[in-house]
Structure 1
Amino acid sequence: MIELIIDQRRRSLGGAFEVGRVLPFARRQMVGPFIFFDHIGPMDIPAGIDRSADVRPHPHIGLSTVTYLFSGEIMHRDSLGFQAPIRPQEVNWMTAGSGITHSERLEKARALGDRLHGIQAWVALPTEFEETAPDFTHYEGDDLPAWDADGVRGHLIAGSAYGLTSRARTHSPLFYAHLEMAEGATAEVPVGHSERAIYVAAGAVDLGDRTLTTGQMAVLTPAASALRAVEPSTVMVLGGEPVGERFLYWNFVSSRPDRLREAAEDWKAGRIKLPDADDAEFTPFPESARITPGAPE
C-alpha cells in the first residue's frame, strides 16, 4: 500500500517562518503535479513581532502556490494588485505562470498574537501553461465543498473527490483535500489518479500494516484504499497526473533550465515588478541556489 514514506525536514524561511519540508525529496520529486509541500508551524507568534518575521516580496514562475491554513492568518499581497488575508479553511491560489511576486505578512499576529498552522503546496504547471498569464483567486465557503460523516469532517480544496467538486481552477488533473478524523474513524483515499499520497499534519493514522505519525507523508501504491485514525488526526490527501520532469531554482520552477536562469537574472536586475502595496523591500536572490531536478535531503 505504501511506496515510500517521507519524513518532513525542518527548514527556516527567515523570521518567524519555520516549515517542515516534505516535497521535493531526494527520492521523490513530485506526487502528480505537486512539487513542493511545506508544513507551516504549528507555531505561537507573540503580539508585537517585528516585520523581519514576515516573508518579504519574492518571485515565482511556472507554478501555482496553494496556501491553506488550519489556524492563524497570513496577509497576501502580489504584483497584480491583489491583497487578501488567508484564514482557516480558505484557499489562496496564486498562479505564477510567466511571473509574479508576492509577500506573506503576519499582520494579525503583529497586532494580536496568533497560532499559525497550515500547508503551502506548489503545483507545477503543465508545459503548455508554464508561461500562462499570472493570476490570483481567493476561495472560501461554498467554493470548497465540505462534509461531516462517520467521524470525518472534510474540506475539498481542489479537484473532484468524495463525490464533490471544488471550484478552484486547476491546470491539470489533481485532487487535494483536508480531513479531520476522530479516533477510530476511517476515510477513503480517492482513486482515479496515477499518483497519490497522504500527509499527517497532526495525530496518527494506520494505512495497511503501517502507522504514520505527525510530519510523515506516505506515497501510495494503487492498492491503497483507506486509512484509519489511531487518535484524533489532521490529514491531507493529494494526488494527480504527472506533468513531466521539472527543474527548480530557488522559487522558480520550469521544464527548461535556461528559463530558470533568465528568471534569476531578471530578479537580480530588478526587472520583475514588486507588489505596489508592498515594494519597500524584497528578498535577495540567494547566490548559493543551484538548478536541480530535485532537492537534497
Structure 2
Amino acid sequence: MTTLIVPRTHDLGGFEVRRAVPSLQARSVGPFVFVDHLGPALFEPGRGIDVRPHPHIGLATVTYLWAGALRHRDTLGSTQDILPGDVNWMTAGRGIAHSERTPPDPREEGHALHGMQTWVALPRSHEETAPSFHHHAAASLPVREHAGTRLRVIAGRGFGLESPVQVFADTFNVALDLAPDAELPIAAEAVERALYVLEGAAHLDGTDIPEKHLVVLDPGVRHVLRAKTPLKAMLFGGEPLDGPRHLWWNFVSSSKERIEQAKADWEAGAFGLIPGDDHERIPLPSR
C-alpha cells in the first residue's frame, strides 16, 4: 500500500517551508534524505529570502523552482541566479558553505516564490569528493509534453529521458505539470519512488491525494496519476542508500565522527568565506 505523509510546516517569518523527508514514515527515498517544499509565497516590494552562509558535507543540494528567483553563492566563488525550470546542483562532498538570497531586482519589485529543495546523500565512496557547483538552465533539461502532461527530468533518468545533471547513484527526479483531467502512468522505473503534490488536486489510482502531501509509491507497481485541477508535482527516488546515514543540522554522513569534525570546522572557520557574502553566517546550533 502507498504511504501518505503530511509534511511538518515551519513558518520563517511569513514564508512557509514544508518538510516531507525525513519523517517517521520515510527516513529516505532512494538517495533523497531531505525534501523541502518552499512556499508558495508572495513577497511585497523590499522583502525576500535571506538564507545566510551555512555549511554542508556528504550530500548534494538540488534546487528547482516553479516561480521566483534565488541567488546562490558559495565558497568556491560561484554566483548564480536560479529561475523557474532551472536546476542548481551543489555537491558538498568534503565540505562547502553557501548562501541563498533573493536577487536585488525581484526584491525591489516584489515577487512570488515556489519550489522544491532536496538533499541527495552521496554514496559512501563519494562522501569526501571535492565540492562543486553546477547550474543547468531550463533549456538544457529534457522535457516531454503529451495530452496535457508536461514533465521535465531534473536529475537522473525517467520516462525514457536522461538529465545532463551529473549524479552519483541511480536517481529519479522529475518535475510534473498536468492540466485538468490529464493522466500520467508512472512505471516502476526506480526501486524507491515518491510523489509530492505541491499544488492542485489529484487522484492516484483513483484515490484522492491532497496538495502539499507526499506519497511513497509501492515498489514494483505501476501507478496512474490523474489531475483533477491544474497540478504541480515532483517525483523523486532511485536506488536505496548504501548504508545508514546520520543527519545533524546541515551535515549528512555515514560517520558520526565525521559530523563532529564538521561541527568543529564550522566553528573554526575552516569552510572558508563566500565571496560577496562574507559579513554574516548561521552559527552552529547549540542543540
TM-score by length of 1: 0.92
Name the CA shift for 1:148/1:77 in 2 (closer, same or farther; >3 Å): same
Distance 1:83 1:197, change over 3 A: same
What is the rounded CA distance, in whole Å, between the counterparts of 1:17 and 1:190 in structure 2? 35
Which residue does the alignment assign to 1:263? Answer: 262
1:258-297, CA deviations, whole angstroms, 9 ceiling, x for partnerless residues?
1111101111122211212211110011112xxxxxxxxx
CA distance in 2, matches of 1:281, 1:231: 43
Alignment-derived partner of residue 159 in structure 1: 156
Alignment of 1:136-215 (within 5 A): 136-215=133-212
Post-superposition offset of 1:256: 0.6
1:42 aligns with 2:40: yes
What residue is the counterpart of 2:24 in the other structure? 26
Paired with 1:18 and 1:254, the residues of 2 have a C-alpha distance of 27
C-alpha displacement of 1:204? 1.6
Secondary structure, counterpart of 1:88 in structure 2: coil
Partners of 1:161 and 1:101 lie apart in 2 by 31
2:32–2:120 contact (8 Å) kept in structure 1:
yes
Q: Report whether the alignment pairs 1:79 with 2:75.
A: yes
Percent identity for Structure 1 against Structure 2: 45
Alignment equivalent of 1:122, drawn from 119, 124, 128 = 119
What CA distance in whole angstroms lies between the structure 1 residues aligned with 2:182 and 2:275?
A: 47
Query: Matched residue of 1:285: which SS?
Result: coil
Contact kept, 8 Å, 1:143 with 1:168, in 2: the verdict is no
- In the alignment, the residues of structure 2 paired with residue 63 and residue 242 of structure 1 have an alpha-carbon distance, to the nearest angstrom, of 15
Q: Is the 8 A contact 2:185 2:222 kept in 1?
A: no
Alignment of 1:229-268 (within 5 A): 229-243=227-241, 244-268=243-267
- 2:5 maps to what in 1? 6
User: 1:183-217 CA distances to partner (integer Å, 9 max, x unpaired)?
Assistant: 11111224232101111000121112421111111
Give the 3-state SS of the residue equivalent to 1:276 in structure 2: coil
Q: Deviations over 1:125-164 (max 9, x none)?
A: 0000011000000001342111211110111111111111
Across the aligned residues of Structure 1 and Structure 2, the Cα RMSD in angstroms comes to 1.4
Q: Quick check: 1:15–1:54 contact (8 Å CA) kept in 2?
A: no
SS at 1:262 equivalent: helix
Q: Residues 222-251 of structure 1: CA distance to partner in whole angstroms, max 9, x if unpaired?
A: 224221112111111111011221110100
Q: Which residue of 1 aligns with 2:107?
A: 110
Rounded Cα–Cα distance in structure 1 between residues aligned with 2:187 and 2:283: 41
State how far apart, in whole Å, the 1-side matches of 2:273 and 2:203 are: 45
Q: CA deviation at 1:15?
A: 5.2
Does 121-130 or 200-209 show the bigger shift?
200-209
What stretches of structure 1 of length at least 5 have no aligned partner? 289-297
Report the Cα distance in structure 1 between the residues aligned to 2:15 and 2:277, rounded to whole angstroms.
Answer: 19
Aligned length: 284
SS of the residue 1:268 aligns to: helix
Unaligned runs of 5+ in 2: none
C-alpha contact 2:153 2:175 (8 A) present in aligned 1 = yes
Change in 2 beyond 3 A, CA 1:16/1:273:
farther
Shift of the 17–259 alpha-carbon distance from structure 1 to 2, 3 Å rule, reads farther
Give yes or no for contact 1:46–1:109 (8 Å, CA) kept in 2. no
Q: C-alpha deviations, 1:161-189, integer Å up to 9, x for none? A: 11111101000001111111111111122
Contact 1:77 1:278 in 2 (8 A): yes
